[in-house]
Structure 1
Amino acid sequence: MPPPPLRTFRSGLFRTIALAARASPFALAAMALAGVLAGIAPTGMAWYARRVLDGVAHGDRQAVITGIVAEAGLLLLTYVAGGLNQFATARLRLALGFLLQRSILEKAIAVPYACFEDPGFYDALSRARREAVGRPVALLAGLFAVAQALAVLGGSAALLFRFSPLCALAILLAALPGFLTETRFATALFRLQNRRATEAREQAYLEQVLTRDDHAKEVRLFGTGPAFLERARRVFTLVFDEDQALARRRLLVGLVADLVALALFYAVYVYVALRALSGALTVGDLGLALVTFRQGDGALKQALGGVRGLYMDQQYLANLYDFLDLPVPAPRQLAPAARAQDEQGLRFENVGFTYPGAARPALAGVDFSLAPGRKLALVGENGSGKSTVLKLVAGLYEPTEGRILLDGRDLRAWDGEALRARLAVVFQDFVRYQLTVRENVAPRAAEDAVPDDAIARALARSDAAPAVGRLPRGLEQRLGKLFSGGVELSGGEWQKLALARAFLREGADLLLLDEPTAAIDPAAEAALFERVRAETAGRMAILVSHRFSTVRLADEILVMDGGRIAERGDHDTLLAAGGRYAALFRLQAAGYR
């Protein structure tokens, strides 16, 4: 059962205040002080304005001067409060925005990898990032504005009671229709925007396709620009039409609420004016009543609107806090990195795996062993389960059936850092960091200093050293075209850098290579793998490749088909068997004749 709305509101408000105090206690205190000062001043200004009017009516020069000076001082106080509030709000927006953005990013790297293949997770992430910067500060600013308005309202009510309790009641009645109207339509707008998270992401994606450099070639060559632009227009039109329909209804109902407030104000105006005509009130009383009513009416509207705003801001912030509260797997009592003595290597035992939300398994009944120093190749058509095997070995997923053992110990019992220390991985969709060469080879260099000679060895092993040697700034050269001064590499050169990133892990004894040389020419690929084979003696390696010139270097080859192992053996054995491997090999060989 979800918690009551009031309890949820309170917990969200207290959480935001606690985060603000952590981000910038000075800014939070300054905003509170500014609210107090701005709340006290209007009542005093109205009182001294009455003294000025009565002083003028009675020819009391001293009262006039005293009232004007006091009113000017209070007005100056409001200016100081406004400036302080503006400064503190800007400071808090930056500090709290950074704190929350960091929290979002920390959550993103802590959740399981499977989240990144779930569209619902991306919707939640999009909503959280949208609300992280401005919404918490808006909530706090609204809170202090409500406190300020209540202070003004309290002073106005006290002054109006001097004339009639009905005047104070009229303030409440005048503001209530507008409050109910705004609350109703703000809630409707929140639900509308929350429901449109997917459309917002689609529009952002279409804009990205039309503006990114890695899409620009195909957009122009295939003439897809107008088509994508039309799709973006349709998404915008859908959003625009829904917003406009809601805005029209809000306008009409709001006008009715304003007419009610206007009628009540002029009723009070007439009542006070008639009492002044009868001599029951002075000119100063008349001015005080009218100014106080306007102030009180405005303060009550501000207070009610602020409460509505607080409620709405908290609804939006619930998206942020729901994301930050996503469960992260608790640390387990895991095994140390020491290896068992009775069994070495990697073993799959009847392993099956089904991707979340998928109708059929990606792997079923997969069994194989890989001893230290041995090289295993996986071949098969796209979607046969090759890359899934590597993801399971890397610990990105856990098997839904069976188990995977490394040195006789279930992978689920391995500490994450200990397991990653034993792996060197290159996936086919490797990352091209728009950073320096050094940061591409050693992304963790900022936290773990990496000697230049270690980077040089990794570049040499991956055959990336010649390309790096031609760059103007060597290891310090920024790559890519996203930032000024960057140099773009060819696809093969980027891939060699990704290989160097894996080869930097000299202590890793299990290499996972998923189409790691697809952008490299066959001759260079064969030479590269001969060198890798020689330099990784004693290490295990699993290779996924469609090039049989490379696959034949493996000690054992598994032919995957529909998530199962259809054939196994070395290159010569599989060719002699005349099965699927032999057919694929002959088909590829025919292309070179």
Structure 2
Amino acid sequence: MSPTLPRTAPGIVAVEVLCPILAARGVRPRVLDFEVLAPVPEPPTSSLRSRLSRTIALAWRASPFALASMVLAALLAGAAPTGMAWYARRVLDGVARGERQVVLVGIVAEAVLLFLTYVAGGLNQFATARLRLTLGFLLQRAILEKAIAVPYACFEDAGFYDALTRARREAVGRPVALLAGFFAMVQAFAVLAGSAALLFRFSPLCALAILLAALPSFFTETRFATAIFRLQNRRATEAREQAYLEQVLTRDDHAKEVRLFGTGPTFLERARRVFSLVFEEDQALARRRLLVGLGADLVALALFYAVYVSVAVRALAGALTVGDLGLALVTFKQGDGALKQALGGLRGLYMDQQYLGNLYGFLDLPVPPKRPLLPAARARDERGLRFENVGFTYPGAKRPALLGVDLFLAPGKKLALVGENGSGKSTILKLVAGLYEPTEGRIFLDGRDLAAWDPEALRARLAVVFQDFVRYQLPVRDNVAPRAAEDAVPDEGIRRALARSEAGPIVKKLAQGLDQRLGKWFPGGVELSGGEWQKLALARAFLREQADLLLFDEPTAAIDPAAEAALFARVRSETEGRMAILVSHRFSTVRLADEILVMDGGRVAERGDHDALLGAEGRYAALFRLQAAGYR
């Protein structure tokens, strides 16, 4: 199914565009209730051959030397055992006949071949470790690039997080495990080919016995490999929950509440319950695997000793020399081990390629091109930002977050949004920023439908501070200018942004200035107060000097009132001639706006400037007096 089905009617959301994860799983567009997060089919799997070919191609990109070394090691280790068995026979026969030279040559040849197996093992170990690093990094980067590329709405979808968790889990070790299993199988088949050639000198039944002895184990393990894969895939949510609980108990931003509220034992108990559920399922499967596996091993053991007795009887009858007897027994054991290794490798390939389906399925998810969910309206001769009957419902939600919102923000004007939590204030900012598109109505910027704007051109005009701003555990300059490496922001520009956000004095106190690492996650980091972090977030917004539309979502919530007053005086002067939308619960701040919208239940309940709204004696006036009473 195409992930870019058109949507032509208001009220129908193209889920495929909002989240390609849902599209890839076969979710169809629905109306506004968004009942689209029910269980959906898994993406189709591809063949073992295609996934193996893709993994080999990726490994060649990551490290041609490591891949070539693994091939060479497999061929060396596969050829040496056959030669060693042959020379062992010559040594035994040479001893029986008293041929000293034959014995010495055979021993030296065996030693050389044994040394080559050591070389092959060391080379394979080195190449595998190298490939695990290089290929793991290559795939992790691909996953992160995909995470950056998908629409923002995906990050509010639990199914997306499950898919992301499974992909990241498989990226580091699974591709190398697939390759290691494949080359182990190549090595085993090389040993097996040599063993079969030697065993056929005695009896074709010996070679057949090797095959029959290994088959029960192969079918048993293949069956349980599928069961284990399905079990682990089904438990992706539990794995994320366990990781989250560990994070709550170990991260610095949770540590204070965990100790002060005494929630540590509670979270530990939750983690124990999740572990118990996982453990019981694992153990039940492990018990079944043990019992069935013992039965397969008994079948193999009976076949092995049947051939052992047969060869011993022929040797007692004088049909075989001592060297032949030794060769037969060694070769049979080598062949038996090689076939088990080959079938085990094939079983591992079968299991690993299923897990790689999670990785490659995620990497192959389509990222739809930016296109309007609604047909873009004709451009009009107008400057400023306009909402026309805008409505919006979050994916998976049944109640709309916005209904029938109309507003106009002229160039150079300031708009404030007030209202209770959940009234739709932050949603308006997300729509203006292009993180979502309205499910009803239209938004215009300078006369053009926002849906028709190029995303990069729109972002260039925006400077945004959200209430859940990021605290980068990085140096100050990288907190203010995270894209400095690409955009080459000079220090003067960073210092201007810091001054505008009243963060200049903060940086002056730091021992290493702009190069001081912040946060406590890494050695040498310095922790800031909540208000200081918020000023750095403001500096990130002020760094975008060309932006003419500023969006502030509770930008001073962690700053004391005196500092807030000074900061907003600076903000007002710095944003002169530029549009700004401010969300705040502090009426001392919003009263400075040219127009104030009072939001209630996703609708605009009141609008006007501060004096007009106070005079109207409505909801704004009541909230203002309630807050003012707290300062008396």
TM-score band, normalised by the shorter chain? over 0.9
Task: Identify the match of residue 308 of structure 2 among 269, 289, 309.
Answer: 269
Q: Any idea what SS the aligned residue of 1:328 has?
A: coil
| Residue 315 in structure 1 maps to residue 354 in structure 2 | yes
Q: Match of 1:561?
A: 600
Q: Report deviation, 1:363.
A: 0.9
Instruction: Supply the distance in 1 between the matched residues of 2:43 and 2:433 (Cα, whole angstroms).
Output: 40
Task: Identify the match of residue 508 of structure 1 among 530, 547, 566.
Answer: 547
Instruction: Supply the distance in 2 between the matched residues of 1:128 and 1:226 (Cα, whole angstroms).
Output: 31
Task: Identify the match of residue 489 of structure 2 among 450, 455, 466.
Answer: 450
Q: Match of 1:143?
A: 182
Q: Report deviation, 1:494.
A: 0.7
Q: Any idea what SS the aligned residue of 2:502 has?
A: coil
Q: Match of 1:175?
A: 214
Q: Match of 2:104?
A: 65
- Measured against aligned partners, the alpha-carbon deviations of 1:17-60 in whole angstroms (never above 9, x if no partner) come to 11001100111011011111111111111111111111111222
Answer whether contact 2:380 2:448 (CA < 8 A) is retained.
no
Instruction: Supply the distance in 1 between the matched residues of 2:58 and 2:313 (Cα, whole angstroms).
Output: 53
Q: Report deviation, 1:90.
A: 0.9
Amino acid at match of 1:402: G
Instruction: Supply the distance in 2 between the matched residues of 1:51 and 1:290 (Cα, whole angstroms).
Output: 14
Instruction: Supply the distance in 2 between the matched residues of 1:342 and 1:251 (Cα, whole angstroms).
Output: 76
Q: Match of 2:132?
A: 93
Q: Match of 1:131?
A: 170
Q: Match of 2:192?
A: 153
Q: Report deviation, 1:67.
A: 1.4
Q: Report deviation, 1:3.
A: 9.6
Q: Match of 1:40?
A: 79
Instruction: Supply the distance in 1 between the matched residues of 2:90 and 2:176 (Cα, whole angstroms).
Output: 39
- Measured against aligned partners, the alpha-carbon deviations of 1:383-408 in whole angstroms (never above 9, x if no partner) come to 01100000010011111111111111
Amino acid at match of 1:130: R
Q: Report deviation, 1:327.
A: 1.5
Segments of 4+ in structure 1 off by > 3 A?
1-5
Instruction: Supply the distance in 2 between the matched residues of 1:11 and 1:345 (Cα, whole angstroms).
Output: 53
Instruction: Supply the distance in 2 between the matched residues of 1:273 and 1:451 (Cα, whole angstroms).
Output: 85
Change (3 A) 1:3 1:290: farther
- Percentage identity across aligned positions? 86
- Measured against aligned partners, the alpha-carbon deviations of 1:105-137 in whole angstroms (never above 9, x if no partner) come to 111111111111111111111111111111101
Instruction: Supply the distance in 1 between the matched residues of 2:544 and 2:392 (Cα, whole angstroms).
Output: 28
Instruction: Supply the distance in 1 between the matched residues of 2:595 and 2:385 (Cα, whole angstroms).
Output: 14
Amino acid at match of 2:545: E
Task: Identify the match of residue 151 of structure 2 among 107, 112, 117.
Answer: 112
Q: Match of 1:27?
A: 66
- Measured against aligned partners, the alpha-carbon deviations of 1:259-293 in whole angstroms (never above 9, x if no partner) come to 11111000000111111111111111111111111
Instruction: Supply the distance in 2 between the matched residues of 1:342 and 1:352 (Cα, whole angstroms).
Output: 24
Mapping 1:169-318, distance limit 5 Å: 169-318=208-357
Instruction: Supply the distance in 1 between the matched residues of 2:276 and 2:235 (Cα, whole angstroms).
Output: 13
Q: Report deviation, 1:62.
A: 2.0
Task: Identify the match of residue 533 of structure 2 among 474, 494, 500.
Answer: 494
Q: Any idea what SS the aligned residue of 1:223 has?
A: coil
Instruction: Supply the distance in 2 between the matched residues of 1:358 and 1:456 (Cα, whole angstroms).
Output: 43
Change (3 A) 1:370 1:209: same
Instruction: Supply the distance in 2 between the matched residues of 1:159 and 1:531 (Cα, whole angstroms).
Output: 89
Task: Identify the match of residue 544 of structure 1 among 567, 578, 583.
Answer: 583
Q: Match of 2:384?
A: 345
- Measured against aligned partners, the alpha-carbon deviations of 1:218-253 in whole angstroms (never above 9, x if no partner) come to 111111111111111111111122212211211111
Q: Match of 1:425?
A: 464
Mapping 1:321-336, distance limit 5 Å: 321-330=360-369
Change (3 A) 1:265 1:4: farther
Instruction: Supply the distance in 1 between the matched residues of 2:346 and 2:533 (Cα, whole angstroms).
Output: 55
Q: Any idea what SS the aligned residue of 2:604 has?
A: strand
Q: Report deviation, 1:342.
A: 2.1
Task: Identify the match of residue 454 of structure 2 among 390, 415, 418.
Answer: 415
| Residue 435 in structure 1 maps to residue 474 in structure 2 | yes
Q: Which residues of structure 2 form unaligned runs of 5+? A: 1-40, 373-378
Q: Match of 2:7?
A: none
Q: Report deviation, 1:526.
A: 2.2
Amino acid at match of 2:597: L
Instruction: Supply the distance in 2 between the matched residues of 1:402 and 1:39 (Cα, whole angstroms).
Output: 69
Q: Match of 1:463?
A: 502
Instruction: Supply the distance in 2 between the matched residues of 1:135 and 1:121 (Cα, whole angstroms).
Output: 20
Instruction: Supply the distance in 1 between the matched residues of 2:116 and 2:471 (Cα, whole angstroms).
Output: 56
Q: Any idea what SS the aligned residue of 1:482 has?
A: coil
Answer whether contact 2:371 2:451 (CA < 8 A) is retained.
no
Q: Report deviation, 1:413.
A: 1.5
Q: Any idea what SS the aligned residue of 2:381 has?
A: coil
Q: Match of 1:337?
A: none
Deviates further, 466-475 or 294-303: 466-475
Answer whether contact 2:43 2:361 (CA < 8 A) is retained.
no
Amino acid at match of 1:23: A
Q: Any idea what SS the aligned residue of 1:513 has?
A: strand
Instruction: Supply the distance in 1 between the matched residues of 2:251 and 2:197 (Cα, whole angstroms).
Output: 62
Amino acid at match of 1:231: R
Q: Any idea what SS the aligned residue of 2:362 has?
A: helix
Q: Match of 2:117?
A: 78
Q: Report deviation, 1:420.
A: 0.8
- Measured against aligned partners, the alpha-carbon deviations of 1:162-208 in whole angstroms (never above 9, x if no partner) come to 11111111101100111111111121111111111111111111111
Normalised by the length of structure 2, the TM-score is 0.91
Instruction: Supply the distance in 1 between the matched residues of 2:179 and 2:476 (Cα, whole angstroms).
Output: 44
Q: Match of 1:377?
A: 416
Instruction: Supply the distance in 1 between the matched residues of 2:53 and 2:259 (Cα, whole angstroms).
Output: 52
Q: Any idea what SS the aligned residue of 1:424 has?
A: strand
Q: Any idea what SS the aligned residue of 2:598 has?
A: strand
- Measured against aligned partners, the alpha-carbon deviations of 1:482-539 in whole angstroms (never above 9, x if no partner) come to 1111111111111111111101111100000000000111222122212211221110
Q: Any idea what SS the aligned residue of 1:576 has?
A: helix
Instruction: Supply the distance in 1 between the matched residues of 2:262 and 2:627 (Cα, whole angstroms).
Output: 33
Q: Any idea what SS the aligned residue of 1:191 has?
A: helix
Change (3 A) 1:341 1:180: closer
Deviates further, 471-480 or 545-554: 471-480
Change (3 A) 1:433 1:72: same
- Measured against aligned partners, the alpha-carbon deviations of 1:305-334 in whole angstroms (never above 9, x if no partner) come to 10110010011111111111122122569x
Deviates further, 524-533 or 271-280: 524-533
Answer whether contact 2:551 2:581 (CA < 8 A) is retained.
yes
Instruction: Supply the distance in 2 between the matched residues of 1:483 and 1:63 (Cα, whole angstroms).
Output: 66
Instruction: Supply the distance in 1 between the matched residues of 2:417 and 2:380 (Cα, whole angstroms).
Output: 28
